[in-house]
Structure 1
Amino acid sequence: MTASDYTATLARKRMGAGALLSDQFGRVLLVEPTYVPYWEIPGGSVEAGESPYAAVNRELREELGVLVRVGRLLVTDWVAPVPERTEGLMMIYDGGLLTPEQTARIRLPAAELRSWAWCTPQEASGVLPETLARRITAAVRARQDGAAYYLENGYFVA
């Protein structure tokens, strides 16, 4: 068996990369997609041949129209497969604080995003899928702690 034959047998995982963006009051920026019935953080799928870091930067430009200096990785979350989705690795990077001037320049792609809002972590938990809400809470904690956390289905491991 050649190396390429072996590589072809390895599992493939979907990957997503998002950014934790906050305002001066500690609220988190959420976006409301047009294609699902729940809110998300800005970000999206990592494309073939693209790094997660490159993906989050691309997605922020496409979704918000605002240049953001994306910082360090806060959370990596392995998500188990479910009937409608394969397993995946979801990453959240530190997007830092958006100034009021940056916030005023947010422009959403109407075909993809319906709206956006600043939410407290508690408010976010009410509009996000449970796994994503846990991931966001962990990202806020990671930012505060100066750490990076590994999760599985939004739960801390070990």
Structure 2
Amino acid sequence: MPQLTDEAVTDGDGGGPGTWMTPQEYGASRAAVWTGAVVLVTDTDGRVLVQSVDYRADRMLPGGAVDAGEAPSAAAAREMREELGVDGSYPNGLAVDWIPADTPGFPPEMRFPGEILFVYDGGTWTPDRVDAIRLPAQEITGVHFAEPADLPALMDPGDARRALSALRARINGGGPALLEDGRPVAPTALDRFGALGTRRAPHHGTWHPGPVPAALPVREPSAWLFAPDGRVLLLICRTTGATRLPPPTAGSTPLGYRYADEAAHPRTAARLGSLPPAADPAYVRLLATPEQVRELADWGPAGHAELAAVHTARSHLGLPRPPRTPLAELPEQGASW
């Protein structure tokens, strides 16, 4: 910060170290930007709440401008109350985005100076809370929950990038993401490989513990492979961002199966030993908590039962419950514990 003086400095060396400015000069030199606040809400299936408005064609996250003298978190709570009729507080931030002044879509007469926009975590809403939404008489014309991969088709490009970056930051659990025009300044593995950029394949049905009955056809067997810290192995496609569990390994024990489409989709569980070099170059190997794996998938209500079974298996293996940390990429040359 420059040194300030109430009098003009006339001596040749500026009167001392640094740049001397009057308070008026310093104030005029500072960049002026708008401030906004939005809230990211998901439903129990991991879809994102977006709303339709009467003044533009694309969808938006709930939120709006921060009023003069208003804290961004207070603005988020006020906007949620005004737009959705829902009271609440949103103390946890997911992202802070710098939106440049030359962003397309703003009329020249608006003289858009750029904006700092805060994205807050609205949490996961149950059906009862969704039913409590009450729309105002004007401005907000409807709300619905969208598959994350559909956001670019529904929203302004910058808004979609920001929403997906914030959702990935929530899943990572490493703190708010710093964004510039919706793009992370320090991309995580989920950002680099475009997680949630492709529609999640729905794997619904009912969860059944134990081995698959002999009479049932089997499809897509997969495994929960536990690292020593309690995290599990997850595969993410380099080109699409789609995620999946790895195939079973020798020595895996039956965990249960999901019954859907007249077939069993079995899951097994095992310790993850030392890993050889990656066998399939199309996929990157990540370590994630079981909760992160579920949040990157569309498993429907049966996901709760499967997640409980996963933690039971982890406990039986004598492994700790892992804290939520950003998903970590394993080295291509393999890993040992």
Question: Could you say which TM-score interval applies, normalised by the shorter chain?
Answer: over 0.9
Of all paired residues, the percent bearing the same amino acid is 36
8 Å Cα contact 2:73/2:91 also seen in 1:
no
Matched, 1:74 2:94: yes
* Pick aligned residue for 1:57 from 77, 91, 111: 77
Q: Residue deviations 1:20-79, cap 9 Å, x none?
A: 101100011001111122110000000100011110010001110012342411111100
CA distance in 1, matches of 2:91, 2:69: 21
Counterpart of 2:70 in structure 1: which amino acid?
E
1:78-129 CA-partner distances (Å, limit 9, x unpaired): 0011363221111100000112111111111131111111001112221101
SS of residue matched to 2:74: helix
Give the length in aligned residue pairs: 158
What 5-or-longer segments of structure 1 have no aligned partner? none
- TM-score when normalising by structure 1: 0.92
Query: Which secondary structure state, in structure 2, belongs to the residue aligned with residue 31 of structure 1?
Result: strand
Structure 2 unmatched runs, 5+: 7-21, 187-337
Pick which of 35-44 and 62-71 moved more.
Answer: 62-71
Does structure 2 retain, via aligned residues, the 8 Å contact 1:63–1:108? yes
Give the letter for the 2:24 counterpart.
Answer: D
The one of 149, 152, 159 equivalent to 1:122 is 149
Task: Render the CA deviation track for 1:131-158: whole Å, top value 9, x for unaligned.
Answer: 1101011111111111211111111224
Partners of 1:70 and 1:88 lie apart in 2 by: 20
In structure 2, the residue matched to 1:16 is 36
Bigger relative contact order, structure 1 or 2 (CA pairs below 8 A, ≥6 apart): 1
Question: Quick check: 1:71–1:95 contact (8 Å CA) kept in 2?
Answer: no
